[in-house]
Amino acid sequence: MSDPKIIVALDYPDAQSALQLADQLDPQRARVKVGKELFTRSGPDVVKALVSRDFDVFLDLKYHDIPHTVGRACAAAADLGVWMMNVHTLGGSAMMQAARDAIGQEGDAPLLIGVTLLTSMDQATFDQIGLTGAMTDTVVRLAGMAKESGLDGVVCSAQEASALKQALGADFQLITPGIRPAGSDRGDQHRTMTPKEALSAGSDYLVIGRPITAAPNPMQALLDIEASLL
């Protein structure tokens, strides 16, 4: 069974565009991510359509609510057959444990991932909401809480990956966006790493959107990235 490291972000406003892109990819070589815009516009049907095409789907809805509500939402996501889902670690341990309890830990349970601090958060926002200490220490602390609450890993910047692997161990999964193949357009991403650098730093899965979805030939772009990993 293949274990693709690349998760293609299907950041589209409608199911048709998302499926059109997915149909150009091989589910043996790439996983896919469905985020808030696509899900809000197209709902569970687009997730089901991707699952039925044999894609492993990361449902990136970053749940953050009272424990009971998050648990129920995670159970609903698991019923869709997703491979990975995520919650905000800032929701606290009880919320994360409720998510874990709701989807179980059997072999075929989806991976449950935490979001620590959003990479869009700057120091001014961090201070404004009353968080203290260094932002990097907060990321490590929230990731530690996620691990203690039974989560399988966190979404993080590749720049944080080696510190997090060291602090939390090899089995704790690190999912990293902000990846740009050498020479490609950075778009609105600021602190990027190449796919190879990110894996060397300790990333387990690379979330890559526009370098693949905006390429003239998305499958070729995926193959080129795969080749760059060797």
Please report, as ranges, the residues that interact with ligand C5P according to CB under 6 A: 9, 11, 35, 118-119, 155, 177-178, 187, 189, 207-210
Minimum distance of ligand C5P from residue 106's CB (angstroms): 28
Distances (CA, A) of 21 to 9, 71, 218: 10, 31, 8
Minimum distance of ligand C5P from residue 24's CB (angstroms): 16
The one-letter amino acid code at 55 reads F
Q: List own/partner pairs for 154-159 with CB under 8 A and 24 or more apart.
A: 154/89, 154/113, 154/114, 154/115, 154/116, 155/86, 155/113, 155/114, 155/115, 155/116, 155/207, 156/116, 157/119, 157/191, 158/192, 158/193, 158/197, 158/198, 158/201, 158/203, 159/191, 159/193, 159/201
Q: How far apart are the C-alpha atoms of 145 and 89, rounded to whole Å?
A: 8
Structure tokens at 172: 């704790």
Minimum distance of ligand C5P from residue 168's CB (angstroms): 18
**In this complex, which beta carbon is closest to ligand C5P, that of residue 189 or of residue 200?**
189
**In this complex, which beta carbon is closest to ligand C5P, that of residue 151 or of residue 207?**
207
Minimum distance of ligand C5P from residue 36's CB (angstroms): 8
- Residue among 5, 36, 48, 62 flagged as catalytic: 62
**In this complex, which beta carbon is closest to ligand C5P, that of residue 109 or of residue 118?**
118
* Residue nearest to ligand C5P according to CB distances in the complex: 209
36 is catalytic: no
Size (the chain), residues? 230
**In this complex, which beta carbon is closest to ligand C5P, that of residue 75 or of residue 131?**
131
Minimum distance of ligand C5P from residue 157's CB (angstroms): 7
Of 197, 191, 161, whose CA–CA distance to 176 is shortest? 161
**In this complex, which beta carbon is closest to ligand C5P, that of residue 51 or of residue 208?**
208
Q: Which residues pair with 6 in a beta bridge?
A: 206
The residues carrying an active-site annotation are: 62
